[in-house]
Amino acid sequence: MSNDVEIQPYDGPVGGWGSVSSIARRVRDDDAPTALPELARQNKPDGFACVSCAWAKPANAHLAEFCENGAKATFAELTRRRVGAEFFARHAVSELLGWPDQALEHEGRLTEPLRYDAATDRYVPVGWQEAFADIGAQLKALQATPDATVFYTSGRASLETAYLYQLFARLYGTNNLPDSSNMCHESTSVALKAALGVPVGTVKLEDFEHTDCLFFFGQNVGSNSPRMLHPLQAASERGVPIIVFNPLHERGLEEFTNPQRPLQMATRSTTRIASRYHAVKPGGDIAAITGLCKALLELDDAAQADGRPRLLDTAFIAQHTHGFDDFAAFVRAQAWPDIEAASGLRRSALTESAQVYAKASATIGVYGMGLTQHELGVDNVRMLVNLLLMRGNIGKPGAGACPVRGHSNVQGQRTVGIAEKPELVPLDRLAAQYGFEPPRHKGMNTVEACEGVLDGRVQAFIGLGGNFVRAVPDHHAIEPAWRRLQLTVHVATKLNRSHLLPGATSYLLPCLGRIERDLQAGGVQTVSVEDSTACIHASRGQHAPASEHLLSEPAIVAGLARATLAPNPQVDWTAWVADYGRVRDAIEATWPDQFAQFNQRMHQPGGFARPLPAAQRQWNTESGKAEFKVPPRLDAAFAGDGGPDVLRLVTLRSNDQFNTTVYGYDDRLRGIQGTRDVLLMNRDDMRRLGVADGSQVTLACAAADAGPADGVLREVSGLRVVAYDLPPGCCAGYYPECNPVVPLNHHARESKVPAVKSVPVRVRAAA
Ligand SMILES: Nc1nc2c(c(=O)[nH]1)N[C@H]1C(S)=C(S)[C@@H](COP(=O)(O)OP(=O)(O)OC[C@H]3O[C@@H](n4cnc5c(=O)[nH]c(N)nc54)[C@H](O)[C@@H]3O)O[C@H]1N2
Ligand SMILES: Nc1nc2c(c(=O)[nH]1)N[C@H]1C(S)=C(S)[C@@H](COP(=O)(O)OP(=O)(O)OC[C@H]3O[C@@H](n4cnc5c(=O)[nH]c(N)nc54)[C@H](O)[C@@H]3O)O[C@H]1N2
Ligand SMILES: [Mo]
């Protein structure tokens, strides 16, 4: 560990001068001087959609409609550093495997297509046509069992690319289309679809102007969607209560200094964000929401007894919902001491927040990975919906469910057919449009793809972006298995560890980033993305490409498809690549209601909204109504009791990373600088378990059913203990460094999202 490590509580605001100086430092580190002018185009109607998060892009953009982390993402993409043939001639792949994630990506942008040469253990340059031809030949050879190939997508690729890619996979014969959202908001897609009939959030940006109460569960806005602090700041200044549930005291949920307000910057003043902060236990949200609902029922009983107006929206419940009585019976049957024990929160605190809720006429429930990445991740989301339904908070202005999506187009990719579940895709329409018989059986999601790699069913992996091997659990099992693959192909902008585990044949295909000019036969192209609020935006890159040898993602997908598939007169890949407008026409033909007049409407400032029936109180659910759901138990974390020395590990993102892309080693907002090898612990647990602040520990998985039986060592050593303000019984460390302790079978029951917000672990002092 370097001696630049500094660990001190951070009590400054989010945003403010800290954010400005962090931006300045990054532009130097990344050597990205030409990125600065690009910031003015970021998230603007005639500019490009930020490649960082998926937060909504307002119609009336601020002068600077970017945040600290959006700027970092732009600099990282527009760095002047390059990793080309000379780099790979100097460094063997097995040497690069010893490099940290940060160092690999810091080398800069990939510049030309590469093929792995086993004899020299190096990536060597190859021509595009040769690469396509060889990959096509190998895929054809595997086509007798199309389900042996996995087509993974990370959530950054555009709607146009995603549509072409899913069509390629289906024409090839498989629904193996796992997506990063399988590790992320799949719990949302399952829960909201069942409860409300739509798989996505029901809230629009303007709802934040009309809301009078916000619940905020398990989302770290200051690091992961900082532009969302603007509507939150405005709401807070209007006096809207913001009630937070989060085991960590995240600074972004506490105080914000808006870098776009000169006066606030000059006076170093701040806006308070959270009006109430509940440090819920990890996995304690079902219990916490049960407490809120129970208190609300008690308040409603009292109101009814006194002849005052009801606090439940009884008319809404009667007309629009199903299952309320069972749900209310469940809530009434839960004892307060059990709720307090499972949530870690006091009855009085929950009752006070229920009183605030009872007074609000329109409430939004915001949430992130703190709800979705648990064994009961789907039930967590259902509980939040239960809470909203009790007061009719779906389908009216200022109210609704607001999952904060991760990758900048992860929601949109699902909309245009990246789905392993065939029932989510209009296969009949694809069949008619392209004259083929699409596969009708279910494909693999992310966890199933890992299982397939482990047991040999999967033989080829095509990755459209992402860093699959780093993002998934159980690194020590997956990495060795990965090398047994027949074929691995990665379409990528930068080098990462997934690229360094070559199968028998491996290609690295470098692509244009979204901020770069995409010139095709039909002229400079525009792409589109869908944000967290189901609004679709045009995005036009104009920066000079990182290398003249790069192809766009649609061109790479088309190149692979042409080399692999038999010619089909109804599928003209060449015409699609020449003019992405024709891809949008094809998308419109597949989803005429969702994408009516796609090409015309995509330039609308603020994006165009896809129709969401639930927002109009039309419920495409089993009962035709919005569904209440009784949770299976109060605690979402993990079934079974591992004993007093077992802690719940929460894996976190720092303020200086985007998923597996580590920009640097500082987590300014949590006061940790110069290292990521830390384990945040509660002081009482440290005393109880006999580990000292600053000491070195090993973290070991304590899951009962994933023990040594399968022979995988699930440990991470060399972590430094940091005493931190979090609830007893849990600890926290960074993702992806902690992923080796997460067993692959530790995932949400219905969505299979890895349950990385609550992993049973033991902590051992280093020898
Ligand atoms: N700068 C930056 N931006 C990003 C990303 C990034 O890595 N860096 N990643 C993008 C992606 S793909 C995603 S999915 C999003 C992720 O954004 P978030 O949804 O914010 O995800 P995390 O940072 O993993 O953690 C979420 C929060 O949940 C809290 N938490 C943990 N366990 C629990 C629990 O049991 N209950 C509750 N109530 N809270 C809990 C944690 O303390 C943390 O504050 O951000 C996107 N934006
Ligand atoms: N323990 C733990 N594990 C987690 C999580 C957690 O909270 N805890 N979070 C999960 C979540 S929410 C997610 S979304 C996944 C993330 O999983 P992924 O989406 O697979 O991973 P990323 O780190 O976002 O991928 C980064 C890589 O994408 C490539 N890339 C960047 N831009 C582009 C582009 O424009 N085009 C192409 N083709 N490639 C590009 C670069 O090569 C870069 O190295 O991880 C999951 N894993
Ligand atoms: Mo994500």
Q: Which of 15-19, 331-335, 550-554 has the lowest mean pLDDT?
A: 15-19
The set of residues, in sequence order, having a beta carbon less than 8 Å from that of 188 and lying 6+ positions away, is 199, 200, 201, 372, 381, 403
**Cβ-based neighbour number of residue 444 at 10 Å:** 24
Structural domains of the chain, ranges and CATH numbers in brackets:
8-77 (no CATH), 82-174+409-610 (3.40.50.740), 186-404 (3.40.228.10), 647-765 (2.40.40.20)
Report pLDDT for 194.
Answer: 98
Mean pLDDT of 484-495: 98
Tell me the per-residue pLDDT of 143-175, one tens digit each, with 9 for 90 and over: 999 999 999 999 999 999 999 999 999 999 999
Does ligand 1 come within 6 angstroms of the Cβ of 107?
no
Prediction pTM value:
0.97
Q: Nearest 5°: phi and psi at 764?
A: -125, 130
Distance (Å) from CA 446 to ligand 3 centroid: 13
Distance (Å) from CA 218 to ligand 1 centroid: 7
Tell me the per-residue pLDDT of 542-589, one tens digit each, with 9 for 90 and over: 999 999 999 999 999 999 999 999 999 999 999 999 999 999 999 999
Q: How far is CA 684 from the centre of its chain?
A: 32
Beta-sheet pairing, 276-278 with 242-245: parallel
Is residue 587 a contact partner of residue 163, using CB atoms and an 8 Å limit? yes
Partner residues linked to 627 by β-bridges: 322
Which ligand is the nearest neighbour of the Cα of 286?
1
Q: How far apart are CA 216 and CA 137, in angstroms?
A: 50
Q: Report the number of secondary-structure helices (H) and strands (E) in the chain.
A: 30, 33
Does ligand 1 come within 6 angstroms of the Cβ of 553?
no
Report pLDDT for 6.
Answer: 82
733 closest CA partner among 749, 722, 745, 725: 722
Q: Nearest 5°: phi and psi at 423?
A: -65, -15
Report pLDDT for 641.
Answer: 62
- For the CA of 248, the closest atom of ligand 1 is 42
- For the CA of 757, the closest atom of ligand 1 is 32
Q: Is 297 left (phi over 0), alpha (psi -120 to 50) or beta?
A: alpha
Tell me the per-residue pLDDT of 74-107, one tens digit each, with 9 for 90 and over: 999 999 999 999 999 999 999 999 999 999 999 9
Does ligand 2 come within 6 angstroms of the Cβ of 368?
no
Which ligand is the nearest neighbour of the Cα of 660?
2
638 versus 628: the higher-pLDDT residue is 628
Beta-sheet pairing, 661-662 with 696-701: unpaired
Nearest CA to ligand 1 atom 1: 224
Q: How far is CA 285 from the centre of its chain?
A: 19
- For the CA of 221, the closest atom of ligand 1 is 20
Mean pLDDT of 263-290: 92
Residue ranges near ligand 3 (ion) with Cβ within 5 Å: 184, 406
Q: Which two tokens stand for residue 64?
A: 């600077």
- Confidence tier at 24 by pLDDT (50, 70, 90): confident
- For the CA of 661, the closest atom of ligand 1 is 7
Which ligand is the nearest neighbour of the Cα of 654?
1
Q: What is the mean pLDDT of the chain?
A: 95
Q: Nearest 5°: phi and psi at 124?
A: -125, 150
Q: How far apart are CA 574 and CA 156, in angstroms?
A: 23
What single-letter amino acid sits at 250?
Answer: E
Report pLDDT for 696.
Answer: 97
Report pLDDT for 28.
Answer: 83
Report pLDDT for 26.
Answer: 81
Report pLDDT for 616.
Answer: 97
Does ligand 1 come within 6 angstroms of the Cβ of 247?
yes
Nearest CA to ligand 2 atom 12: 184
Q: Which of 66-80, 226-240, 253-267 has the lowest mean pLDDT?
A: 253-267
Which ligand is the nearest neighbour of the Cα of 67?
1
Report pLDDT for 20.
Answer: 80
- Confidence tier at 708 by pLDDT (50, 70, 90): very low
Distance (Å) from CA 195 to ligand 1 centroid: 23
Distance (Å) from CA 369 to ligand 3 centroid: 8
Tell me the per-residue pLDDT of 451-486, one tens digit each, with 9 for 90 and over: 999 999 999 999 999 999 999 999 999 999 999 999
Distance (Å) from CA 754 to ligand 1 centroid: 14
Is residue 731 a contact partner of residue 749, using CB atoms and an 8 Å limit? no
Q: Is the pLDDT of residue 707 over 70?
A: no
Q: Is the pLDDT of residue 2 over 60?
A: no
Residue 422 per-residue DSSP state:
G
Is residue 295 a contact partner of residue 358, using CB atoms and an 8 Å limit? no
Nearest CA to ligand 1 atom 21: 369
Q: Which of 88-92, 459-463, 607-611, 711-715 has the lowest mean pLDDT?
A: 711-715
CA R_g for the chain? 25
Tell me the per-residue pLDDT of 657-679, one tens digit each, with 9 for 90 and over: 999 999 999 998 899 999 999 99
Question: DSSP per residue over 471-493, as a string?
Answer: HSS-HHHHHHHHTT-SEEEEEES
Mean pLDDT of 440-459: 97
What single-letter amino acid sits at 191?
Answer: A
Q: Is the pLDDT of residue 705 over 90?
A: no
Q: Residue 208 in 3-state DSSP?
A: helix
Q: Is the pLDDT of residue 241 over 90?
A: yes
Report pLDDT for 31.
Answer: 87
- For the CA of 653, the closest atom of ligand 2 is 7
Distance (Å) from CA 666 to ligand 1 centroid: 17
Helix (H) or strand (E) holding 163: helix 159-172
Q: Is 425 left (phi over 0), alpha (psi -120 to 50) or beta?
A: beta
273 closest CA partner among 303, 248, 247, 238: 238
606 closest CA partner among 60, 70, 47: 60
Report pLDDT for 640.
Answer: 66
Distance (Å) from CA 404 to ligand 3 centroid: 9
707 versus 26: the higher-pLDDT residue is 26
Q: Which of 18-32, 295-309, 428-442 has the lowest mean pLDDT?
A: 18-32
Does ligand 2 come within 6 angstroms of the Cβ of 660?
yes
Distance (Å) from CA 287 to ligand 1 centroid: 20
Is residue 400 a contact partner of residue 203, using CB atoms and an 8 Å limit? yes
Q: How far apart are CA 765 and CA 747, in angstroms?
A: 28
Distance (Å) from CA 727 to ligand 2 centroid: 29
- Confidence tier at 1 by pLDDT (50, 70, 90): very low
Q: Which residues of 690-720 are buried (b: 16+ CB within 10 A; e: fewer)?
A: ebeeeebbbbbbbbeebeeeeebebebeebb
Helix (H) or strand (E) holding 553: helix 553-564
- For the CA of 496, the closest atom of ligand 2 is 44
Q: Which two tokens stand for residue 494?
A: 């930068």
Q: Nearest 5°: phi and psi at 81?
A: -70, 145
Burial of 635 (0-12, 13-18, 19+ CB in 10 A): buried
- Confidence tier at 706 by pLDDT (50, 70, 90): low
Residue to substitute in 81, 418, 467 for testing ligand 2 pocket (most ligand atoms within 8 angstroms of CB): 467
Identify whether 241 is preceded by a cis peptide bond (ω within 30 of 0): no
- For the CA of 514, the closest atom of ligand 2 is 35
Nearest CA to ligand 1 atom 6: 658
Nearest CA to ligand 2 atom 17: 471
Which ligand is the nearest neighbour of the Cα of 244?
1
Q: Say what percent of the chain tops pLDDT 90.
A: 87
Residue to substitute in 220, 244, 366, 735 for testing ligand 1 pocket (most ligand atoms within 8 angstroms of CB): 220
**Strand positions, DSSP E, 378-526:** 400-403, 460-464, 487-492, 505-510, 519-520, 523-524
